[in-house]
Amino acid sequence: MTSLFAPGDTLASRIASQFPSALSDLQVSSLYYLGAILLVIGVGANLTAVWIANRFDYEKRAA
């Protein structure tokens, strides 16, 4: 349950495992919601990465 060594789920693995066999509209919508959360995390992480890369850009810092 709260152990790293117990079987667990990630956002991506839950979408992959439940989407093909989703039973109700509510379940499908919930999985889309998981996708939306994953999208926000993904875009946020990538924008942070670009921001960090820009801070260490020597050419821009020299200018």
Partner 1 sequence: MSKRVELEPLDEFVVDEAHEFPFDPASPLVASGNLRRRHLISRVARGGATAAAYLAVLMLGFLLWAVISRGIGAISWDFVTKGPNEGGIGPALVGTAITVLLATAMAMPVGVLTAIYTAEYAGPRVGRLVRLVLDVMNGLPTILIGIFIYAAFVAGHHQNGFAAAMALAIIELPMIARTTQELLTLVPRALRDGAEALGVGRWRVILGVVMPTVAGGVLTASVLAAARVAGETAPQILVNLVSPPEYVLNPFADHAMPTIPVTIFQLSESADPTGFQRAWGSALCLMTLILIANVVARTLHNRSQKKIESR
The contact set with partner 1 (CB under 8 A) reads 11-12, 15-16, 19-20, 31-32, 35, 38-39, 42-43, 45-47, 49-50
Using the minimum distance from each CB to partner 1, give the nearer residue, 8 or 42.
Answer: 42
We find the least distance from the C-beta atom of residue 19 to partner 1, in angstroms, to be 5
Smallest separation, CB 11 to partner 1 (Å): 8
- Interacting residues of 47 by C-beta distance below 8 A, sequence separation 6+: none
